[in-house]
Amino acid sequence: MFDVDRTKKSRKEKTMTNRDDNYDYLFKIVLIGDSGVGKSNLLSRFTRGEFSLESKSTIGVEFATKSVTVEGKVIKAQIWDTYVLRILLLHFLL
The domain locations on the chain are 3-93
Topology of domain 3-93, per CATH?
Rossmann fold (3.40.50)
Chain segment 8-27, per-residue pLDDT in tens: 554 444 444 445 578 999 99
Q: How far apart are CA 77 and CA 53, in angstroms?
A: 24
Q: What are phi and psi of 56, to 5 degrees?
A: -100, 165
Chain segment 64-86, per-residue pLDDT in tens: 999 999 999 999 999 998 775 55
